[in-house]
Amino acid sequence: MTDYASTDQAVPEAGARPADGNDAAVDLVVRVRGAYRTFERDTAPVRALRGADLDVARGEFVAVMGPSGCGKSTLLNLIAGLDSPDEGFVSVADLDLTKMDENALAIMRRSHIGIVFQFFNLLEGMTVLENVVMPALIAGVKRKPAETRARDLLDLLGLGDKARQAPATLSGGQRQRLAIARALANEPTLVLADEPTGALDSEGGEEVLELFRRLHSGGQTILLVTHDQPVADAAQRLVRMRDGRVIDHGGREPDVEPDGETQPVAAPA
């Protein structure tokens, strides 16, 4: 059994390779153009996103940083298909999310997105194993292959001996590793994480960080929001946001016109 947290083994993922630099042939997993999102509040509307642009290429590990309230989670939610922009374009794996209804977004999430939250969002009444089996069952995978994949993931992530335990018996770092195993259950195109180390002590944070590094070296595309400098340092590229926009793309500039107008994006077939 492999303890994923303490070996150099990377989680394998077929066909994915890290991508560097701007390359015309680059395979973009995420494309956000001119995204606006305003939340109506009793007092005054909150303009959470004000023309955000972002590209993430297949195999990239991108960290997003910025002051609290600058729109990081809102941007992540648009890419996850959990929310929709008021204006602008969002695509994941060449699927135009802005043209999808709730049902289509749910299907897109199941097939392309694995999400990791700050507070784990585990199913506490179920075993560790069932937490990883469940997303595959929901996606229509039969129990046996779902369990086999879940056991493999738990082994890879160093939780194989915890399969029958309740999540509550795990340490913080182990709980977040379980949440990551669950996010990987359906072999997502993209792993999204919102402050994945925010609720962990430094040891738990390091465990989770090491896991993200290994996932990335195995070719997994990762986009995470963090306040944690070591997490940002581990990423291949750091994107900075401010006031609802990406102000520094960290080296992969989207194809946006100088006046802020976005270039037309071909509608996916």
Residue 74 makes contact with ligand ADP by CB under 6 A: yes
Residue 86 makes contact with ligand ADP by CB under 6 A: no
Among 34, 51, 59, 71, binds ligand ADP (CB under 6 A): 71
Least distance in Å: CB of 85 to ligand ADP?
12
Cβ-contact 166, 124 below 8 angstroms: yes
What is the C-alpha separation between 137 and 149, in angstroms, rounded?
A: 11
Question: Token pair for residue 32?
Answer: 């956000």
Residue 31 makes contact with ligand ADP by CB under 6 A: no
Choice between 73 and 262, CB closer to ligand ADP: 73
Least distance in Å: CB of 183 to ligand ADP?
19
Choice between 83 and 147, CB closer to ligand ADP: 83
Among 70, 223, 232, 234, binds ligand ADP (CB under 6 A): 70
Choice between 28 and 64, CB closer to ligand ADP: 64
* 50 to 70, 151, 223, 225, 260: CA distances (angstroms): 10, 43, 20, 18, 11
Cβ-contact 183, 175 below 8 angstroms: no
Residue 199 makes contact with ligand ADP by CB under 6 A: no
DSSP letter assigned to residue 256: B
Closest CA to 105 of 97, 114, 94, 117: 97
Among 24, 43, 68, 258, binds ligand ADP (CB under 6 A): 68
Residue 48 makes contact with ligand ADP by CB under 6 A: yes
- Which one of the spans 17-25, 67-75, 159-167, 183-191 is the region binding ligand ADP (CB under 6 A)? 67-75
The secondary structure of the chain in percent helix, strand, coil, rounded to multiples of 5, reads 35, 25, 45
Cβ-contact 154, 181 below 8 angstroms: yes
Residue 73 makes contact with ligand ADP by CB under 6 A: yes
Cβ-contact 30, 79 below 8 angstroms: yes
DSSP readout, 186-218?
Answer: T--SEEEEESTTTTS-HHHHHHHHHHHHHHHHT
- Which one of the spans 2-10, 69-77, 106-114, 176-184 is the region binding ligand ADP (CB under 6 A)? 69-77
Among 1, 9, 17, 69, binds ligand ADP (CB under 6 A): 69
Interface residue list for ligand ADP (CB under 6 A) = 39, 41, 46, 48, 66, 68-74
